[in-house]
Structure 1
């Protein structure tokens, strides 16, 4: 998370977006789909951390839980309650998928706050895959569960008859915009926060007068980013639950 400051001709040059560059971890040359990059490495680290918490950390389950077991159970119960409250009993069977999304995004967000780390969820390529996976899953599920009745999601029967066709067009557009907003919200918030952090970190190296203010700014923004990392994981997950509820109960 450290910022880089370059002085050229007496001026200062900040490069807050350099931290989002994808590069090879080993060797040189073009990046292919099978190349190990900083993105894939930190995604793998996130998976390892999740396994350590949920599998290794809870292998000795006890009535009086350890700290690791308490954290795992708290996260599990939090998401389970969310799924049940939003989607109802019908949505509980899809809890493993939703919990996987939540825990992966949460760990990716938090790992990105470590010094010299890479925030995988700041890349639209990553968040778009997650968002489109949700979009196609709930759309297919909606037609499998309800057949043509799933189209009732776009027909607002409670509205006046003259307005229903107009509202149907609006509903269809908003439905297909879902994966875009779903992915950009997560990536945009994390990218913006990390860029601001790097700018303040750069100012901390300017001089004795500016440095204390910049350091206070870094501390404040870092604390805010910790909160944003948790909130964005929650927002992505609860929106997934809302979309799942629409697939299970499409009628307005």
Structure 2
């Protein structure tokens, strides 16, 4: 975490926590190699299954604590999809619910000491963002055909400005997966790097590490909030993109 080199300078390596490593020896990583990334993604999936499948299997009228949490998450995402994408978007609720819960648990698991934050990697977040991008684009084309292009034509703007605005809209549309993925990965990486820096100072200072420990506590609390907010932002942006695909004229 932190060390004193021969030069006498303090060495802190906050980015080492994001290194992808094989689980079973060696340094070579192939596409089929189990890594710390795949392990913690699998654990996130397992947590989702435990909460939404195992935790609700009783379907009790008076729910247990686990069932109450599952129902709260279900109602929260359902209401979000309905409010943003409309009634037509509810048929795609399972997909958005899956995205939200996976990202939420991946973020929270990343806060466990000695764990790995899978959502801090662009490879993970970009895969999800591209899946959303292609899904809503194909949906829009299938449902509306050429009419889907009306999404880029601002009919309420003055006629002379419409071609310029159309170019801007096309560029912003194809930038969506970039911003969608970088926002999540960047926020998770930045927060964990800050915690690692303060932890390095605390390890060096020893008993005098009151300020670094207080800073770690504050940043950790903030990261807990950010973990939920980033899952929410990813899901609600997916709802916005879905709404555009379903109702491009709006």
TM-score for the superposition, normalised by structure 1? 0.97
Residue of structure 2 equivalent to 1:34: 32
Q: List per-residue Cα deviations over 1:48-104 (Å, max 9, x = no partner).
A: 111111111111111110000000000000000000000110000000000000000
1:209 Cα shift? Answer: 6.9
Structure 2: tracts of 5 or more residues without a match: none
Aligned counterpart, 1:17: 15
How much is the aligned-residue C-alpha RMSD, in angstroms? 0.9
Task: Give, in angstroms, the shift of residue 238 of structure 1.
Answer: 0.2
Contact 1:50 1:104 in 2 (8 A): yes
- Per the TM alignment, residue 30 of structure 1 is displaced from its structure 2 partner at its CA by 1.2
Partner of residue 68, structure 1: 66
| Equivalence for 1:136 | 134
Cα deviation 1:6-40 (Å, max 9, x = unaligned): 10122100000000000000021411111000000
Deviates most, 52-61 or 185-194: 52-61
Deviations 1:96-153 (A, max 9, x none): 0000000000000000000100000000000000000000000000000111100000
Q: Secondary structure at the match of 1:225?
A: helix
Equivalence for 2:217: 219
Q: Does 1:6 align with 2:10?
A: no
Q: Which residue of 2 aligns with 1:153?
A: 151
Unaligned runs of 5+ in 1: none
How many pairs align? Answer: 249
Q: Please tell me whether the aligned partners of residues 21 and 27 of structure 2 are also in contact (alpha carbons under 8 angstroms).
A: no
Q: Deviations over 1:184-217 (max 9, x none)?
A: 0000000000000000001112225750000000
Q: Who is 1:180 aligned against?
A: 178
Secondary structure in 2 matching 1:206: helix
Q: Work out the CA distance in 2 between the residues paired with 1:115 and 1:147.
A: 50
Give, in whole Å, the separation in 1 of the partners of 2:159 and 2:95: 38
Q: More helix by proportion, 1 or 2?
A: 2
